[in-house]
Structure 1
Amino acid sequence: MIWKPNVTVAAIIEQNGKYLLVEEDQQELGMQLNQPAGHLEPNESIIQASIRETLEETAYTFIPQWLIGIYHWHSRAADTTFLRFALSGVVTGFDPNRTLDTGILRAAWFDLDEIRERRNCHRSPLVMQCIEDYLAGKRYPLEILIHYD
């Protein structure tokens, strides 16, 4: 058996003290709260993946500016290891007519208290950890993410 982690991206987007999150329908778990996030696709850079996932899950156009962190997490429930690249940046456009990805109930802006109060609904512990790292001022230049074709 060959083992490999699932490589994912997440967008940490703060605007006026609120964070853009998605409510996802996870069949067996019910509604889960997460950053716009998803899996890296073949031939896609980390930056491209974060832009694509944010658009697909929120209908917002995301412009990444910083790497917040790289997170290694093993989900015991799913017996799966994730390697998450969290990027922060700004959103510019919004397409109100865009259909969101399957399983996404809605995208919305939440303040820090709302996010903390709903901790039991977080998709993973990485949701809060990424926000805490963002609040702590962790910022790394995107140039450290090298993509070769």
Structure 2
Amino acid sequence: MSNRWNPSVTVAAVIERDGRYLLVEEETPEGLRLNNPAGHLEPGESPLEGCVREALEETTHRFTPTHLLGVYLSRFQRQRPGEAAQDITYLRFAYTGELGETVAGRVLDTGILRTLWLTPDEVRASQDRHRSPLVLRCMEDHLRGQRHPLDAVYTDPSVFQP
């Protein structure tokens, strides 16, 4: 029997306004970290839908994607005392777009302490606190104008069926 490799699929919103990028400060097993509004893709949703949902959950704001920023692959290794080492590969679909209004009554998702608007230099200077190296890579790709059409990622209707 062979072991099949199963990367963790994540989605991220890369949001810029007035020269600043929206990040979230979140509690992680490694301590407080900075990340894009991001999370795991859930069953029955497209990457685009997952990104909209995660942005809302982690910022309390509506998010309208306008472009696929890119598809990224990264690897993370975690070793907790007394536990087997974890070797996780993340496949990230990152979208950029417009941040909309706050949804009344929404609160930040569990583990999200606050949102922050940081300049590119502040994001670069905080690399040691990033949840993933993809936080910086996505910002740099956005700054250099990388954009792909939303339909570059196709979701077959079978995904939405039970």
| Superposition TM-score tier, normalisation by shorter sequence | over 0.9
Q: Does 1:94 align with 2:131?
A: no
Q: Does 1:9 align with 2:11?
A: yes
Q: Secondary structure at the match of 2:57?
A: helix
Shift of 1:96: 5.6
Q: Does 1:106 align with 2:106?
A: no
Distance 1:110 1:95 in 2: 22
Q: Structure 1's 96 and 110: CA in aligned 2 closer, same or farther, altered over 3 A? A: farther
Map residues 18-57 of structure 1 onto 2, 5 A cutoff. 18-26=20-28, 28-57=29-58
Q: State which drifts further: 76-85 or 133-142.
A: 76-85
Q: Which amino acid aligns with 1:119?
A: Q
- Percent identity of paired positions between Structure 1 and Structure 2: 49
Q: Deviations over 1:62-120 (max 9, x none)?
A: 00001111001111234100000110001111136311111100112111122112110
Query: TM-score, normalised to structure 1's length?
Result: 0.95
Q: Secondary structure at the match of 1:69?
A: strand
Q: Does 1:63 align with 2:71?
A: no
Aligned-residue Cα RMSD (Å) equals 1.1
Shift of 1:145: 1.2
Aligned residues: 148
Counterpart of 2:148 (choices 127, 140, 143) is: 140
Distance 1:106 1:97 in 2: 16
Query: TM-score, normalised to structure 2's length?
Result: 0.87
Q: Secondary structure at the match of 2:155?
A: coil
Q: Which amino acid aligns with 1:76?
A: Q
Deviant stretches of 4+, over 4 Å: none
Q: Secondary structure at the match of 2:15?
A: strand
Q: Secondary structure at the match of 1:21?
A: strand
